[in-house]
Chains A and B, each alone.
Chain A
């Protein structure tokens, strides 16, 4: 008899949601976290899209540790001196059931893990899982931890240990490691008085802003973001690893460059750096997906590379919560039917395929490559901002040129081939359309 029904490794959003489901299903579940408390080691940009929580914690917005509700979403395309912003605002997003929210991970993850504990899960912190145990048939049968007497057996292990999952690698569930599949996310948290943030970002009360930026990463392919919390703002970059290494650029220098941009400097001026953090992101979407289930083991969240990073979307927490929840359901089902082999755990893949988790990934499968391509990163920002500049420039006594003429001239000047523009347009339509 195993010690417990399920061991969940990692108390991030994926792990806690898996543990909530399992504990509520009456399973004996142990949630093991290497940090001193859930969320203590975790970072992200700052926006959670918690719609999936409706299924786990009804009216979660009444109790979740939220900083601000995102009511304003901007996409900024920039060059060194120009910026073109598409700005969207909806007050509907500032009222239940809400859309997105900014939250600090040490608050959010700890709150979610509290729900797992309240449901009956056993949370063990400051404990690192160092490996997997296998039975005579080679099925995963438990974990080894860094504690004395540190082995624990279970019918199913759910690896929610985040990006670069050592457990998934140990089990051979990933193919060849390719650095091009990952980006490095770096972030500064800057403290500013709440009223200053409200004024600079044009919001009131607990309304918040999410700005995604393209063209702000120098020669390195990637993107940027700014999110508002109550009295801090998060300013960060997502940087393609091979390019970053090749360019020999320091990420903190690239953030400093972004903060000095004329469109950004007035927003961040006077902010006191409270925190600098960095973390990998599995960025390649469906093309880097590992095998999601093995005998006695499931992967969820970033451990399964289920993070949607597609330019205007950087969604990982919601995918982690959902995949964790479905992994929990599939594990409970497999234990009930006394078959925790790959076949017994097939309910997991089925659930992911039937929902946004894999549907969005499949739909947006071309997006990561497109968004991080050299043209989108280095040519299109110059092209788009130049077109805008010329459209809004008044060249009297010259008459206004037509938009078509401006587009054609700027395309040529920037050096974009018509064929490439059409190809990328089509790829964009296929991905986002």
Chain B
């Protein structure tokens, strides 16, 4: 089985479920992101080359069937909707997807959704299935023997991967353009299996519905007897700029030193 994850999202500039946006997507403007479309296209190419059955899955309300109808029209073999209200937390969505993909050899996902998603669902799916993950792919080469991919790393670097075993792959939108569904595909009566999860999580997780705020961190109050001193301490104004230190350490100690420096500087 080749799995494809399709998230039904609001494609308006102020999407539903994001701080400031409305609560529910407007069906007219809802659909899947370019990244999810690319994921479906890669699944279709993989199946066309190596065979297999494509199962397209979405987690969402009945209106989300629209994205599955489009996937079937484009060539997916089967479609499953896990029935949940819009805006379920990533972890829940990933667990739902994993139950459908228990037998999947490859699971294709978009790297992140249009409604400012964090891109965590693919990683959660891989964890739930206990299989490999290759996330943030910018180039893919599907072959009968396996899949070659180029992964985006920080700092403009790339990592070349050869994917042979079971894996969850998340792809960027620019990697492929979804083929146009044939007219007959759109006219065919779609069959969509609806799965009702045993434990329902209702509505949006409250934390998801609020505007984005960075996680709070506790700091000790700045030292100083006057307000000006405290501001100086807080902003380090007038202090000598600390230059980086160069240390030579073995790898475990170096890692420890990096972590302690990051902690010291307030990054973690």
Contact = CB atoms under 8 A, between A and B. Distances in A.
Interface of A: 3, 30, 36-37, 40, 106, 110, 122, 124, 127, 145-152
Q: Chain B interface secondary structure, helix, strand, loop or mixed?
A: helix
B186 A127 contact: yes
A96 B86 CA distance: 37
B28 interface: yes
Contacts of B182: 147-150
24 contacts: A3-B187, A30-B187, A36-B31, A37-B28, A37-B29, A110-B28, A122-B187, A124-B183, A124-B187, A145-B183, A146-B180, A147-B180, A147-B181, A147-B183, A148-B181, A148-B182, A149-B182, A149-B183, A149-B184, A149-B185, A150-B182, A150-B183, A151-B183, A152-B183
A145 B29 CA distance: 23
A106 B180 contact: no
Interface residues on B, range: 10 to 19
Contacts, number: 36
Contacts of B187: 3, 30, 122, 124, 152
A127 B73 CA distance: 13
Contacts of B29: 37
Contact of B183 (A37, A110, A148): A148
Nearest to A122: B187
Contacts of A146: 180
Contacts of A151: 183
Contact of B28 (A40, A127, A147, A150): A40
A148 B31 CA distance: 21
A148 B180 contact: yes
A167 B179 CA distance: 26
Contacts of A145: 183
A36 B70 CA distance: 12
Interface in B184-205: 184-187
A313 B31 CA distance: 39
Interface in B169-183: 179-183
A36 B27 CA distance: 11
Nearest to A39: B28
Contacts of A36: 28, 31
Interface of B: 28-29, 31, 179-187
Contacts of B181: 147-148
Nearest to B187: A122
A431 to B, nearest CB: 40
Given A145-B183, A147-B182, A152-B187, 14 more contacts: A3-B187, A36-B31, A37-B28, A122-B187, A124-B183, A127-B186, A147-B183, A147-B186, A148-B179, A148-B182, A148-B183, A149-B183, A149-B184, A152-B183
A148 B181 CA distance: 7
Given A147-B180, A148-B180, A124 B186 contact: yes
A247 B184 CA distance: 49
Top-8 shortest CB links A-B: A149-B182, A148-B182, A147-B183, A37-B28, A150-B183, A124-B186, A149-B184, A145-B183
A110 B180 CA distance: 23
B148 to A, nearest CB: 28
Nearest to B189: A122
A124 B184 CA distance: 11
B26 to A, nearest CB: 10
B15 to A, nearest CB: 16
A127 B187 CA distance: 12
Nearest to A150: B183
A31 to B, nearest CB: 12
Contacts of A122: 187
Contacts of A127: 183, 186
Contacts of B31: 36
Contacts of B185: 149
Contacts of B186: 124, 127, 147
Contacts of B180: 146-148
Contacts of A152: 183, 187
A191 to B, nearest CB: 14
Contacts of A124: 183, 186-187
A36 B180 CA distance: 13
B14 to A, nearest CB: 13
B70 to A, nearest CB: 9
A150 B179 CA distance: 14
A146 B186 CA distance: 13
A3 to B, nearest CB: 8
Contacts of A37: 28-29
A150 B181 CA distance: 10
Nearest to A32: B183
A43 to B, nearest CB: 16
A30 B180 CA distance: 19
A30 B186 CA distance: 11
A147 B185 CA distance: 10
A145 B31 CA distance: 22
Nearest to B184: A149
Contacts of B179: 148
A40 to B, nearest CB: 7
Contacts of B28: 36-37, 40, 106, 110
A347 to B, nearest CB: 28
Contacts of B184: 149
Contacts of B183: 124, 127, 145, 147-152
